[in-house]
Chains A and B, each alone.
Chain A
Amino acid sequence: MSAFERRSIISGIGQSAVGRRLGRSGVDLTIEASLAAIADAGLDVADIDGLATYPGASPGGEAFSGPSSPEIQDALRLKVNWHSGGLEGPAQLAAVVNAVLAVGAGLANHVLVYRTVTEASAQGAGGRAGIGVGGAGADSIATKGIGGVLQWSIPFRAYSPAIWLALVAQRHFHTYGTTSEQLAQIALNQRRNAAENPNAVYREPLTLDDYFASRMIATPFHLFDCDAPVDGSTAFVVSRAEHASALDHAAVGIESVGTALKGRPSWDQFDDMTTMAARDAGAMVWTRTELTPADVDVAELYDGFSFLTMVWLEALGFCGKGESGAFVEGGTRIALDGALPVNTHGGQLSAGRLHGFGHIHEACVQLRGEGGARQVAGAEVAAVANGGGPIGGAMLLVRER
């Protein structure tokens, strides 16, 4: 095959300490994850000739954005032939896809890719902030007003993706008969899996009663449908496929990517308000491979909110349109020992909001057979999805022999 995806492998993976309020800088966490990934790839820092992050410096602020790529290039004194960052693209996965494109095009041999968050420390002891709320004085949004795309939601007190996505979930519930009991299975599944992941932030058992007793955020989302901000960094090295023979572990191959976006990129104007961007990214994955959903051994599907995992189950064709509620009913099918183990590390709901890169990391762990108590036996094909609402990206990863 000549597809660009096959010219690259994920040769190394690394993750910093992950936790609630570590009190460490984003650069410090990023260096920890990066050095681990570079060593795991059998490389030295000087071998890295490419650099990519999502998003790097952005209006979301440092706690969300992580260090900019120039900061990390400078800290590690990297001499790069190619570098990239930015908020726009197929969700967080954009940084990995960009690296795979760069290697496939011959611009770099070994690209360091990272995503770092310090949102738990930034949040402090208070609750999660709404967009545009807080602050005062002449420069505050509350005084000057809000422009751009956010002007269509924030003035109506729709301050958070929790509300925007709740509207999608409610439409799905209404159209397909999806129930809160079904949605709860995502949170319960992730918590069961987190119990087997020593690095997860929430590992104590969660029952259906606990779920329904938790406070409502925006119907149908309870507190346990929302992910948990953490501090942490995840890094990968994307290398030329030829580097696989130099590794002391299995290489992870990139089988196909899904980067499409064909509907309107808007939280209220999208043509089908029961799915959104995942639909197109998910469908594209299968146009670039001979594999089918039945070949997938493990699925790491974004769960910034529980409902997004259900959206991705449908978008990637693991069940029919509108059938994700029945698919997850009772939780057995998506459990570690089920037909399609989902979010085996605990997802963002229980392992922490590493913002998509935790899912990519876990897919690599599973394909390399390093999952310990949560390892899915014989995992050879993993589906990974990032994002929700008007952004989405997906890819298939495979264990290379």
Chain B
Amino acid sequence: MSDETQFDDRFRVPPALDETNRFFWTSGADGRLRFLRCAACGYWLHPPSPWCPECGGRDVAPEAVSGRGVVHSVTVNHQAWDGDQTPYAVALVELDEQAGLRLTTNIVGVDPELVTIDDRVHVVFEQRGDVYYPLFELDPDPAPAFRPDPDRNSDR
């Protein structure tokens, strides 16, 4: 996993960093993707929230995930919303750590038409200033999916 991959010079609207989201958007500085996690029960919270809906815990802190996941859905955008005519892939990626833990993101480094649902992916970061945008690339080879205990952290 590379930590400072620069893919292109395309326009990106940056996130407005504040005390609740800075950890997420700067996490890629060491090549790792992080979400808030409940210390008591291990539930991953996204977007960041100060209360665990699984156990009611209040002790939540950023923790690194594997950065691996699966394409839950993908669309190829053709409309030049930001002036760029080049089609690109917008995807929902579900992280291996927890069913339903998803990011809206881009699948990069591949013809967007070749990305399909259920493809295995891994995170790569695009750095612009302080912000490391978590994007995803297709895995080169099929890898066995890590799946957590289905009785815990179930998607509701």
The interface residues of chain B lying within 8 Å CB-to-CB of A170 are 73-75, 117
Contact segment of B26-34, B57-65, B102-110, B140-148: B102-110
A78 to B76, CA, bound (A): 50
Decide yes or no whether A144 CB sits under 8 A from chain B: yes
A145 an interface residue at 8 Å Cβ cutoff?
Answer: yes
Which stretch from A196-204, A264-272, A370-378 is at the chain B interface?
A: A264-272
Instruction: Decide yes or no whether A159 CB sits under 8 A from chain B.
Output: yes
Chain A residue contacts of B14, Cβ below 8 A = 142, 145-146, 155
B117 touches A174 (CB 8 A): yes
Of the candidates B76, B82, B105, B106, the one whose C-beta lies within 8 Å of that of A219 is B76
Q: How far is the CA of A169 from the CA of B75 in the complex (A)?
A: 9
> A155–B15 contact, CB under 8 A?
yes
When C-beta atoms are compared, the residue in chain B nearest to A171 turns out to be B73
Residues of B within 8 A of A174 (CB): 73, 117
Asked if A124 is an interface residue, CB under 8 A from chain B, the answer is no
B residues 1-51 near A (Cβ < 8 Å) are 10-18, 21, 46-47
- Residues of chain A contacted by B10 (CB below 8 angstroms): 157
Residues of A with C-beta under 8 A to B73:
167-168, 170-171, 174, 273
Name the distance in Å between B100's Cβ and chain A's nearest Cβ. Answer: 6
Bound-state CA distance A160–B90 (Å) is: 11
Known: A167-B90, A268-B104, A269-B102. A162 touches B79 (CB 8 A): yes
Q: List 20 A-B contacts (CB under 8 A).
A: A130-B79, A130-B82, A133-B13, A145-B14, A146-B14, A152-B103, A154-B13, A155-B133, A156-B12, A156-B90, A157-B77, A157-B81, A163-B77, A167-B73, A167-B91, A168-B73, A171-B92, A174-B73, A269-B46, A271-B156
Known pairs A133-B83, A169-B75, A218-B75; list 20 more (Cβ under 8 Å): A142-B11, A145-B13, A146-B13, A146-B16, A152-B47, A152-B103, A152-B104, A156-B106, A157-B90, A158-B90, A167-B73, A167-B92, A168-B73, A174-B117, A217-B79, A218-B76, A218-B79, A218-B90, A269-B46, A271-B100
Which 6 A-B residue pairs are closest in the complex by CB-CB distance? Answer: A130-B81, A145-B16, A166-B75, A147-B16, A159-B81, A171-B73
